[in-house]
């Protein structure tokens, strides 16, 4: 499994690198670019078709894993349908941005709900959790599926919210994918391990084009895809294992974007604004306001994510070995 996972990472990273390199001049030619505004950091239009490359590679990767008998037909179909739906609505959102318009969040939310439903219906869902203070709880199928859907939708959006600086969301997605690859291998979960390897390869291939100064951005198409796959991987593998510590592993791995998003939501609610209201309250915005450069802010957030991920791996090792 380790050799196959490494092969997937290397092949996917090369194909992604070449695909994104090819799409940059094409996006500029057709003017599929993200225009700067007062909320965004970049000062010039940036092509944002990288997410379309991610989607094609991910769909092909899912088909290959199905062909190799790592994915069941129902799970492969659910993943293919979910990725297609999310990529389509993300592409529409990105198209609106090329026209300096805002796309309503409600169609996106409906598609996210549908995508999450496919995973709980044809993949898996959380049936048992351990909540600090409250203790161990067994969930009914309805509550378990609802909890899982909320989890996946939440992860989709926290990755999307973190896509605000060059290299930030892509690097975080790479860190999380690598961590889930390690934890999945440790827990002998081949499906989540290989899906993690697929997404890790996409992140590695993308980052050379996106790290400061970015030549291209992933757009909502890419950030939504990363968020969905990371959320789905945690359900298919790490979170569903019925022990106290492994259920909390994904929470620890994703702690930085989760805490950041909760802080921003609470701040917006206290100010009487919608939780979807765009502003500059996120961690990366605040780090810039403290005087850090883009690279410094991104590297600091990388370090925080690596710290929580390493802690999760260390805890898992201490339990298993």
Q: What residue segments make up the domains of the chain, in order of their start?
A: 2-320
Is the pLDDT at 130 greater than 70? The verdict is no
Reported as a single tens digit per residue, the pLDDT across 191-220 is 999 999 999 999 999 999 999 899 999 999
Smallest CA-to-CA distance from 48 within 108, 112, 92 is with 92
pLDDT at 245: 38
Reported as a single tens digit per residue, the pLDDT across 34-81 is 877 666 666 678 999 999 999 999 999 999 999 999 999 999 999 999
Structure tokens at 119: 């995973």
Is the pLDDT at 244 greater than 70? The verdict is no
pLDDT at 124: 79
How, if at all, do strands 128-131 and 33-34 pair? unpaired
Measured distance CA(292)–CA(186) in Å, rounded: 37
Is the pLDDT at 12 greater than 50? The verdict is yes
Is the pLDDT at 241 greater than 60? The verdict is no
- The 8 Å CB, 24+ separation contacts for 27-34 are 27/216, 31/98, 32/94, 32/95, 32/98, 33/98, 34/94, 34/97, 34/98, 34/217, 34/219
Cis peptide before 213 (omega within 30 of 0): yes
Is the pLDDT at 240 greater than 60? The verdict is no
Mean pLDDT confidence for 223-249: 74
Cis peptide before 306 (omega within 30 of 0): no
Measured distance CA(224)–CA(89) in Å, rounded: 9
Give the list of residues 6+ apart from residue 298 with CB closer than 8 angstroms, or none.
Answer: 165, 166, 167, 168, 171, 211, 212, 284
Lowest mean pLDDT among 13-22, 206-215, 277-286: 277-286
pLDDT at 102: 83
As a whole number, the mean pLDDT across the chain is: 88
């Amino acid at each position: 499994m380790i050799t196959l996972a490494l092969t997937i990472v290397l092949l996917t990273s090369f194909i992604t690198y070449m695909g994104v390199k090819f799409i940059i001049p094409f996006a500029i030619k057709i003017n599929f670019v993200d225009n700067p505004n007062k909320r965004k950091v970049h000062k010039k239009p940036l092509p944002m078709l990288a997410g379309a490359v991610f989607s094609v590679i991910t769909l092909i990767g899912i088909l290959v894993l199905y062909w190799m008998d790592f994915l069941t037909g129902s799970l492969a179909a659910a993943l293919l349908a979910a990725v297609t739906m999310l990529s389509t609505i993300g592409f529409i959102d990105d198209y609106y941005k090329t026209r300096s318009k805002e796309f309503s969040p409600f169609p996106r939310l409906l598609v996210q709900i549908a995508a999450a439903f496919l995973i709980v219906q044809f993949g898996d869902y959380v049936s048992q959790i351990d909540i600090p203070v409250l203790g161990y709880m067994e969930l009914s199928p309805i509550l378990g599926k609802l909890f899982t859907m909320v989890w996946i939708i939440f992860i989709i959006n926290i990755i999307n919210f973190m896509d605000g600086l060059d290299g930030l969301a892509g690097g975080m997605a790479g860190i999380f994918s690598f961590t889930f690859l390690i934890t999945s291998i440790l827990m002998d979960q081949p499906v989540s391990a290989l899906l993690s390897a697929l997404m890790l390869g996409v992140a590695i291939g993308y980052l050379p084009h996106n790290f400061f100064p970015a030549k291209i951005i992933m757009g909502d198409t890419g950030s939504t895809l990363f968020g969905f796959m990371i959320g789905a991987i945690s359900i298919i593998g790490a979170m569903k294992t019925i022990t106290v510590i492994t259920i909390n592993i994904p929470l620890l791995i994703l702690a930085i974007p989760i805490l950041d998003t909760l802080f921003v939501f609470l701040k917006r609610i206290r100010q009487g604004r919608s939780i979807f209201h765009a502003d500059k309250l996120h961690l990366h915005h605040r780090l810039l306001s403290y005087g850090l450069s883009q690279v410094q802010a991104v590297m600091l957030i990388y370090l925080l994510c690596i710290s929580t991920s390493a802690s999760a791996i260390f805890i898992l090792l201490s339990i298993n070995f």
